Structure 1
Amino acid sequence: MTTKEYIVQPYEHEPAGNAYLMSTVAVIAGLPLPIINVIASVIFYLSNRKASYYVRWHSLQALIAQAVVMPFNSIALAWTIRIFFEPLVWTETRHNHYEAHFNENLFDFPSAWYFIYIFFVLALNLFEFIGVLITAVAVRKGKNVRWAIIANITDRLCSKENRDPYAI
């Protein structure tokens, strides 16, 4: 039994590159909500389930890249919301009146840890955003771009079975 080498057709480059641009466009629409980017990538992947292996593979790699960044963005969003909506804790003092003060909990006040984490998340998102743009341009030019760890996961999840209903 011989294995057939997959040949990428020129018309496949644009839809494969669009997989990365989908998450970039979703950033503009869903910047405050990290799940919006993942949902957009899932919809794009599901809409290309019957596309060629090349398009499906790049759609899945873009989806996994979004899924990796989402937990960091979600924690940053939740931490920020908690800081803005629960900044003061009211406690009863010995003289039967209430006094407001900041809670000493790590997640209640914008401490140095908060700013370090926000800087890390912004750097991670900037790195991912630039990587997505570079990957989208390269894939549209016909270069197969593989992200370091994510490509190995994509290889295991993406089937090489031809699902293209229009294949000749």
Structure 2
Amino acid sequence: MIKETAILYKVHESEAERASNSYLMSLMAIVVGLPLPIVNLIATFMFFLGNRESTPFVRWHCTQALFSQLSLVIINSIGFWWTISVIIGDKVISNDYIAYIIVLFTYNILEFIATIYSAIRTRKGIHVKWWFYGDVSDALVKQ
């Protein structure tokens, strides 16, 4: 799921700190955004906008963090509205619903762990590439 690669140049300490902060931004927003996952996405997007003219290392990690938060919001929103329809609607708890909620919680826990891991490793100047999001970031951020 996560792949570390050596980078071609020495990462300056300020670069490593800003790249690490791109992951920490989503974790800090959890305090406010737990009931509203869109808050995490907005916080990460604002950090992304603030660093779009930065070095490629920082921009790349901001992009990867942004895409991981975007998919998290989509997955959590589907689960939220499905739960609301079960609670106040005419839908019943089905095997599909239970399976989705299990996948949702598993994905959230894995994303949380991967975010902490990436923030720590990136702070040390190590390039951490997530499965799927890393490829998207490679395509969008020109080195």
Where do 1:15-94 residues align within 5 Å? 15-86=18-89
Q: Residue 113 of structure 1 aligns to which amino acid in structure 2?
A: D
Asked if 1:151 corresponds to 2:126, the answer is no
Cα shift at 1:74 = 0.8
> Aligned-pair RMSD on alpha carbons?
1.5
1:51 Cα deviation (Å)?
Answer: 1.6
Using structure 2 for the length normalisation, give the TM-score: 0.87
Structure 1: runs of 5+ lacking an equivalent: 87-102, 161-168
Aligned identity (percent) is 40
For the Cα contact (< 8 Å) 1:32–1:77, is it kept in 2? no
**Which residue among 10, 13, 21 is the counterpart of 1:10?**
13
Number of paired residues?
136
Higher fraction of helix: 2
- For 1:24 and 1:152, the matched residues in 2 are separated by 23
Superposition map of 1:90-109 within 5 A: 103=90, 108-109=91-92
What is the SS of the residue equivalent to 2:129?
coil
How far apart are residue 7 of structure 1 and its match?
4.1
Name the counterpart of 1:114: 97
CA displacement, residues 128-167 of structure 1 (integer Å, 9 cap, x when unaligned): 000000010001111111112211110111133xxxxxxx
What is the Cα deviation at residue 64 of structure 1?
0.9
Which runs of 4 or more aligned residues in structure 1 lie more than 3 Å from their structure 2 counterparts after TM superposition?
none
TM-score with structure 1 length normalisation? 0.75
Pick which of 108-117 and 123-132 moved more. 108-117
